[in-house]
A and B are shown apart, each in its own frame.
Chain A
Amino acid sequence: MLDDRTAVEQARRGDERAWRELYERHVDLVFRLAIRVVNDRDVAMDVVQEAFVKASRSISGFRGDSSFKSWIASIALNEARSWHRKRSRERQVSLDSVPEPEAMERGAEEVMSDVELAGRAMDFIRTLPAQQRDAVMLRTTEGLSYREIAAIVGSSEGSVRVSYHHGMTKLREHMKTVLSSGTGDSIRT
C-alpha cells in the first residue's frame, strides 16, 4: 500500500492505482462531510465525485503543505457549501411561510432520541454562518483538532477556535430551547 505522499506523486503522473488508493482511503471522510452539509445521500455522492474530479484536475498544483486528507476535505467542503448555498436560496423563497414539520408532529411528552437530537442539532448547525458551521461540524462530528480544521478551511487555529465557540454557544442556546419546548410550551401536539 502506498502512503499518501507517494500516492499523490504517482497520481500526478496519472497513475490509476494511486488514484484508487487515495479514493479508497479518503472517500468515507469526504462522504461524511458532504452528507452532513447537504443532508441528502444522492447529492453527497455527487459531491464526492465532484471533489475527486476537481482534485484530479488540480493535483499538479497541490504543493503538499497540508495533507492530502485536509486538501480533499477542503475541496469537498467547498463543493458541499456551494450546493448548500444554492439550495438555501431556493428554499428561502418556498418555505418562508411554512411551519416547521417537526414542531407540528412532535408530542409534548415524547423523549428525543440521540438520532433526533443529532438531527435537530445538525439542522441548526447548517444555518450557522459558514465559518462557525464548518468549525462546529468538523469538530463535533469528526473530532478534528483546531489545527486540522484550520488546514481544511484555510484559516488560522485561533480563528477556528473563536468560530467554534461562537457556533457552539448558539447551538447550546438553540438546543436548550428545543429541549425545554419538547416538554411543554411551544411544541404543539
Chain B
Amino acid sequence: MSDKSVHTDHPNDLLPGYARGEASSSEEIERHLGGCESCRLEVELLRALAAPVEAMSDIERRRVYQTFEGRRLAGGGGRPGSAWLRASWRAAAGIALVLTSVGVLRVVQIGSTVDWDPDAALAGFVDDLADLDLSEGEVRMALGVGLIDDPTLDVPWDEADVGELVLPWEQER
C-alpha cells in the first residue's frame, strides 16, 4: 500500500506509546501497520531509540554527586576541569601549608621535653584553616571529596567528611 494513500490516517501521535507497549488501541494500530511501510519503519525506529542507554555506575553517580556537592558548598562557582579545579588546588595547597606547619611544630615538639598536645595542635590547625578563609566546599574538595579518581579510594557517603582526615600525629600512633 502506498504511504500517500493513507497519509491522513497515520497514527503518528500514538506510535511512541505503541512502540513502548503503552498504547491502548494497539489492535487498530497493528491494522494500520499491516499496510503502512512508513509507520512500520517509524515503530522500528522508535523501539530502537527507546532502548535504554547504559546508566551511570554507582561509583560514577557518587563521584559526580561529591563534586557537585563540593561546588555547591563552595558557592556553585567554577566549571569542572577549569576554574573549579584551580580553586580546589588552591584550597589543597593552603591546607598542605597548614599541615606542613603542624608537622614542623610536631618535629620541634619531639625534640623538646614538652609533651605534644594533639588537642591543642588540632585547635591550631582549625584556626589556621579559618585564617585561609576557605569555604566548607573548598575544604571538602581539597581533602579529596570530588577529586578522587581511583575507585578503590572512593569515599563512602557517610565518611565523606572533613572529620575523617588522618592528621600527621595520628599516623604515627
Contacts and interface: CB of A to CB of B under 8 A. Distances in A.
Bound pair (A, B): yes
Interface of A: 16, 19-20, 23-24, 27-28, 31-32, 35-36, 41, 45-46, 48-50, 52-54, 56-57, 114-115, 117-118, 121-122, 139-141, 143, 161, 165, 168, 171-172, 175-176, 179
A57 B75 CA distance: 8
B41 A115 contact: no
11 contacts: A19-B69, A28-B56, A32-B53, A45-B64, A49-B71, A117-B48, A122-B49, A140-B49, A143-B50, A161-B13, A168-B12
A172 B41 contact: yes
**Most central of B49, B55, B76 by chain A CB within 10 Å:** B49
Contacts of B50: 140-141, 143
B131 to A, nearest CB: 24
Interface in B36-66: 38, 41-42, 44-51, 53-56, 60-61, 64-65
A53 B55 CA distance: 20
Contact of A52 (B54, B68, B79): B68
A143 B16 contact: yes
B151 to A, nearest CB: 14
Interface residues of B, number: 34
Contact of B51 (A31, A118, A175): A118
| For the complex of A and B, 7 pairs with smallest distance between CB atoms | A118-B48, A57-B76, A140-B49, A56-B72, A114-B48, A117-B48, A52-B68
Nearest to B65: A23
A171 B16 CA distance: 14
Given A27-B64, A28-B56, A48-B64, A140 B51 contact: no
B161 to A, nearest CB: 11
Contact of B72 (A53, A115, A118, A175): A53
Contacts of A165: 12
Contacts, number: 90
Chain A facing B: main interface SS: helix
B41 to A, nearest CB: 6
B8 to A, nearest CB: 13
Nearest to A171: B45
Contacts of B86: none
B44 A117 contact: yes
Interface string B14-31: 001100101000000000
Contacts of A36: 53
A160 to B, nearest CB: 12
B46 A140 contact: yes
Contacts of A179: 41
Among B20, B54, B64, B69, max chain A CB count under 10 A is at: B64
